Structure 1
Amino acid sequence: MRRGKRKFDDDNESDFLKWGAAEPRLQEDPDLPPEGDHWSTWDGAFHGPEPRPDWVRTEHAAVDAELGILKTGKEADVYLVRRYVPETDKISLLAAKRYRDGDHRLFHRDAGYLDGRRVRRSREMRAMTNRTSFGKELIAGQWAAAEFEALSHLWQVGRESDLIRVPYPVQLIGTELLLEFIGDWETGEAAPRLAQVRAGRDELEDLWRQMVDALSVLARVQVAHGDLSPYNTMVHDGRLVLIDLPQIIDVVANPQGADFIARDVKNVAAWFTSRGVHTDTEGLIERLLHEAGLL
């Protein structure tokens, strides 16, 4: 070897092609579908529980078309997506919940909600505790995965018992959740939140009974919604539908589990009480704590 020349100094040669060099850009993306925004992301995602509803589109030829935004929030934005197989009647409407990146996320008191959640690697746990950029991305993934897992479990429980209803979780890919759209599939109009419902006494009494049933189911599987209110509960075809569950709490692992149960009850009971419905708030809290095994 000549003095001063490294053993592997090929990149000094003018005609050496480096690995990873950018390929020339094509004028058009050859993988775009003939219509819609892009091909369905079903194949690359984690899937919801079986048996799947008939409307879930799993075909390789399905495409996704974004129809607009349904909701903006501190943690995530929700978009309306139509997934369909072109030239067929195989169509479904989905709510695409996309969590914001770590630099913009502002989860509501996330330290308390994360108690009881652990990751295997101490480096990752330290990053989450110290809220580094890497830690915030890990937290984002935990929120998405926690909501997907919670919806999967509760959807199965609801299917068996009919005492609780949540949107069917179609898939999880990265920090995007694709969920059953709760609303009118003909018009794309979302179902109203409980807070928006103008109902008579009998309907309100029935909705409160449904709420008590749902809270009881949550307690028996030892979780709390974590942020339950009339604003993250929908009413569709006379049924309550619980939504927005990224902050779901394992009430046994979390030292504040009992407090989260009590807060969920008080939040929704106050709304019903203000509309003339009798709610034995303290009695219900005590019952739920027994059902969760905390008393």
Structure 2
Amino acid sequence: MRQHDFQHHSHDDFADDADFGADVPRRRRRPRFDDEAQPTRSGRLTEAAKQRLSALRADAATETEVPGDGDRWSTWGDCVQGPHPPPAWVVTELGAVDTELGVLKTGKEADVHLLRRGLPGAEPGCLLAAKRYRGDEHRLFRRDAGYLEGRRMRRSREMRAMRHRTSFGRNLVAEQWAVAEFATLGTLWSDGAPVPYPVQRDGTELLLEFIGEADGTAAPRLAELRPRGADLRDLWHQITTALESLAVRGLTHGDLSAYNILVHNGQIVLIDLPQVVDVVANPSGSDFLARDVRNVAAWFAARGLPDDVLDVTALTVDLHRAMGLT
């Protein structure tokens, strides 16, 4: 990523006529910087000035050239970054480049791409999942009204735009989902919950830890697996622990199912958390929590996990207790 230079102009560029009288209407001359191109009316450029101008133009010409097969310079320096310090595997050098490797998943609200970030000529860099929320041209979140209860925008105009689904409002919805997911992942990851590390957010694009193999093979979803016996029990206990890690924050996933739980090397990872629900602030919060528990419990029951192990009622009570609701 290249850093941009900004010129700061003085607020005193012009004299205040009220202070000096109407007979002194002169403008103050703005000081000229050394690397600024001189006006043609001032005469020919000196040789030193020509060299400086040539260097500036050369820098501008190479600004957009990305080495090798890269698609863009790293955006690490111009974005909202995840919890600090980042893990050692995250490439944070501003001279790194991002290379698109393919699509991991497409959805109604967002697409997820596989991206490699690394320094030119250096291996292996790091693999990232680039989640890009769709904006105005797509219909976002058919059921988002329920999830948005308890969240507030600062301006009534923004709330109206979101409620009426204007073009501006749909873009706001997309960004709000991105902001909410990024913030939630940062909080939960810092608490030790099984979620991907949120590397950065740039508008409606999230760069997240890629869960999978070094060759770019993504970890399977729980729904793709057929665990039995001890493995099935272990996965269930991991999920209940994950639900408790959200509950202590007063949260529930909001749309939990076997399709947004990854399993990598025997460990679960929760994904797709834009609709995370504050159970206390949202009037329907307890309903969302109960649905999350029912959804995952039904999947495990269908795989043969006994009812006495599942014990949905006891789990729901425990989660409410962790939230301080009982």
**TM-score with structure 1 setting the length:** 0.86
**CA shift digits 1:69-97 (9 cap, x unpaired):** 00000000000000000122350000000
* 1:30 Cα deviation from its structure 2 partner: 4.7
Deviates more, 1:164-173 or 1:97-106: 97-106
CA separation of 1:133 and 1:29: change in aligned 2, threshold 3 A: farther
Alignment of 1:243-258 (within 5 A): 243-258=271-286
Match of 1:149 in 2: 183
Percentage of pairs with the same residue: 60
Q: Which runs of 5+ in 1 are unaligned?
A: 1-27, 159-163
- RMSD of equivalent CA atoms: 1.3
Match of 1:241 in 2: 269
Match of 2:89 in 1: 55
Alignment of 1:241-280 (within 5 A): 241-278=269-306, 279-280=310-311
Q: 2:207 aligns with which of 178, 190, 199?
A: 178
Match of 2:231 in 1: 203
* 1:293 Cα deviation from its structure 2 partner: 2.2
Alignment of 1:1-295 (within 5 A): 30-35=63-68, 36-89=70-123, 91-158=125-192, 164-185=193-214, 187-278=215-306, 279-295=310-326
Provide the C-alpha distance between the structure 2 equivalents of 1:114 and 1:294, rounded to a whole number of angstroms.
21
Provide the C-alpha distance between the structure 2 equivalents of 1:221 and 1:114, rounded to a whole number of angstroms.
18
Tell me if the contact between 2:226 and 2:303 (Cα under 8 Å) persists in the aligned partners: no
Tell me if the contact between 1:98 and 1:177 (Cα under 8 Å) persists in the aligned partners: yes
* 1:29 Cα deviation from its structure 2 partner: 7.2
Q: Which runs of 5+ in 2 are unaligned?
A: 1-60
* 1:197 Cα deviation from its structure 2 partner: 1.2
Q: Name the SS of the counterpart of 1:184 in structure 2.
A: coil
Tell me if the contact between 2:251 and 2:276 (Cα under 8 Å) persists in the aligned partners: yes
**TM-score with structure 2 setting the length:** 0.78
Q: Name the SS of the counterpart of 1:128 in structure 2.
A: helix
Tell me if the contact between 1:97 and 1:177 (Cα under 8 Å) persists in the aligned partners: yes
Larger Rg: 2
Provide the C-alpha distance between the structure 2 equivalents of 1:119 and 1:294, rounded to a whole number of angstroms.
26
Q: Name the SS of the counterpart of 2:282 in structure 1.
A: coil
Provide the C-alpha distance between the structure 1 equivalents of 2:224 and 2:203, rounded to a whole number of angstroms.
32
Match of 2:46 in 1: none
